[in-house]
Amino acid sequence: MTSQLELTARTAFAQVLTVWRTRRGLSKKQLAASMGYHPSYISHVESLRHHPTLEFACRAEAVLASGGEIISRYEQCRQAAGEPAPTPVLRNDYEPSPMLPATLVIEEENATLAYADGWYFCRVERVVRNVGDRPVTCYPVRVDVDRYPDQPGVSRRLYAESPLQLSDLDFEAHAGDEQPEPMDVRVTRASDAYVKMVLIFGNARARFPLYPGERTRVTYAYRVPASLWGQWFQRDIRFPTRALTMSLRLPAELAAEVSAETLSYAGIKGFSPTESPGENGTVVYTLRLRELLLTSQIRLRWRFGERAPAGWGDLAA
């Protein structure tokens, strides 16, 4: 039988969940999809028909970013019910799995794309925090190219003739801040125009899982021939992301015109990149956004001005 103390604690948890869901502009269905739950489960928790669990609270915190209020209310529920404090689960076999919990938060992402000597160079840095109760042993990434996004038939023919190969990308990844460790790379799926992989929190020398409550910096970089790239640079928000900075570095002589757009709802309106002079005759276009919603897609697009030298358009168009 539920005590009055437990009922009061569960009611407070449900209220906090509803408040933060509303504040983030999410329906029950949208929150459920972001957390990996059935929509009815959210309704049952908010209407007190289901008891919240630690996993549920962690996933809700990861998506809604309540500053720990959701977890605090869960702790009150647990204590009111007389349940023991959970023990973090530690793995001994260290078998990386591509099935990640929805308890990773990207506190900050800095993504840079630069052109030089016939290549596009991409570098992504993410400060990743584990807000769950289990170690995380790998992190998914995807390299995706499309030179002709508005002409799918032309793109398919191009990449059928010149498929994207991981061995040609000079791909490398590291984890850590002061002394970053190389991360092993495992390809999970590949096609002519993209490569999906997981970055392992480990290498031949050491294993360094991301344990509950810890944060680290994941950095990866690669290059793609300009002949296989398009005039766009896109970030897909697959984990709760608090801050995103996108930078595009192009030669000033291209006289590029750069714009930003969302391909799905990002919870923001009226944004555009800023322009500033860069090193070695380049121009840097920067876009800074905060508190993006899951499944958002942010894209920078550019075209070259009339002053661009002849032949430049063939490099990235």
- pLDDT-wise least confident of 11-15, 127-131, 306-310: 306-310
The answer to whether 257 touches 302, Cβ cutoff 8 Å, is yes
Tell me what pLDDT residue 305 has: 72
Say which CATH class 104-316 falls into. Answer: mainly beta
- CATH second-level architecture of 4-80? Orthogonal Bundle (1.10)
Tell how far CA 274 is from the center of its chain. 22
Other CB atoms within 10 A of residue 54 CB? 17
Residue 157: enclosing H or E segment and its boundaries? helix 152-161
DSSP state of 254: G
Q: What is the pLDDT of residues 117-134, one digit of tens each?
A: 889 999 999 999 887 767
d(C-alpha 126, C-alpha 108), whole Å? 6
pLDDT at residue 243 greater than cutoff 70: yes
Residue type (1 letter), 19: V
| CA dist., res. 293 & res. 100, Å (int) | 19
| Owner of token pair 């680290």 | 216
Tokens of 275: 């322009």
Residue extents of the structural domains in the chain: 4-80, 104-316
pLDDT band at residue 136 under the 50/70/90 scheme: confident
Using alpha carbons, select from 55, 129, 135 the residue that is nearest to residue 89.
Answer: 135
Residue 216's DSSP bridge partners are 128
Flag whether pLDDT at 317 surpasses 90: no
User: pLDDT > 90: what percent of the chain?
Assistant: 46
Which residues sit opposite 202 in a β-bridge? 207
Q: How many of the other CB atoms lie within 10 Å of CB of 93?
A: 4
Question: 87: which 2 tokens?
Answer: 């023990």
* Residue 97 banded pLDDT, cuts 50, 70, 90: very low
Is the pLDDT reported for residue 265 higher than 60? no
Measured CA angle at 7 (ends 5, 11), to 5 deg: 120
What mean pLDDT is predicted for residues 247-275? Answer: 81
Q: What is the per-residue DSSP string for 25-80?
A: T--HHHHHHHHT--HHHHHHHHTTSS---HHHHHHHHHHH--TTHHHHHHHHHHHH
Q: What contacts 269, CB < 8 A, 6 or more positions away?
A: none
**What's the rounded Cα separation, in Å, for the pair 198 and 212?**
19
Give how far the C-alpha of residue 306 lies from the chain's centroid of Cα atoms, to the nearest Å.
Answer: 36
Q: What is the DSSP letter of 59?
A: H
Q: Compute the distance between CA of residue 254 and CA of residue 275 in angstroms, rounded to an integer.
A: 14
Give CA–CA dist 103/57, Å, rounded. 10
276: phi then psi, degrees, rounded to nearest 5: -150, 150
Sheet containing strand 138-144, strands side by side: 138-144, 194-200, 184-190
